[in-house]
Structure 1
Amino acid sequence: MKTYTKQQLALRNGQDKPEIWVAYKGHIYDVTESRLWRNGKHYEHWAGQDLTDELEDAPHTEAVFGKFSTIGILII
């Protein structure tokens, strides 16, 4: 699987490039087609970043990421 840096992930924020990606636990997910991530924003969360630490405040579990394609691995 392809690897991406945090800087490359940050460009997939719904503004700089047409892709909308988020990371969780080292995996990068493509949320471009999700109506909940239009324009790179999902409630108070922004695309193009690692959401691992933010999930505990979400009203859903990590199972939500099963709806999306894993497109890469986040390297630190």
Structure 2
Amino acid sequence: MKIYTKQQLALRNGQDKPEIWIAFQGVIYDVTTSKMWRNGKHYEHWAGQDLTEELEDAPHSKQVFEKFTAIGQLE
């Protein structure tokens, strides 16, 4: 899997580039086609960042990431 920096991930926030990416436990997922991530925002969470710590407050488990394509690893 390709390795991306936090800066590269940050550009995929739904605003700067057409891709919408998020990271969880060191893996980067492409959520571009998800209706839940329109414009790079999912409730109070923003794309282009590592959401590992924020999952603790989510109403779902980490299995939600199985729906998305893993495209790389976070450096």
Range class of TM-score, shorter chain: over 0.9
Q: Distance in 2 between matches of 1:31 and 1:62?
A: 14
Give TM-score scaled by structure 2 length. Answer: 1.00
Q: Distance in 2 between matches of 1:41 and 1:28?
A: 16
Displacement of 1:19 in angstroms is 0.2
How do residues 1-76 of structure 1 correspond to structure 2 at under 5 angstroms?
Answer: 1-75=1-75
Q: Distance in 2 between matches of 1:36 and 1:46?
A: 11
Q: Distance in 2 between matches of 1:58 and 1:17?
A: 26
The SS at the match of 2:23 is strand
Give TM-score scaled by structure 1 length. Answer: 0.98
Displacement of 1:74 in angstroms is 0.1
Task: Structure 1 unaligned segments of length 5 or more: list them.
Answer: none
The SS at the match of 2:36 is helix
Aligned residue-pair number: 75
Which letter maps to 2:63? Answer: A
Give structure 1 regions of 4+ aligned residues with deviation exceeding 6 angstroms.
none
Displacement of 1:42 in angstroms is 0.1
| Percentage of pairs with the same residue | 77
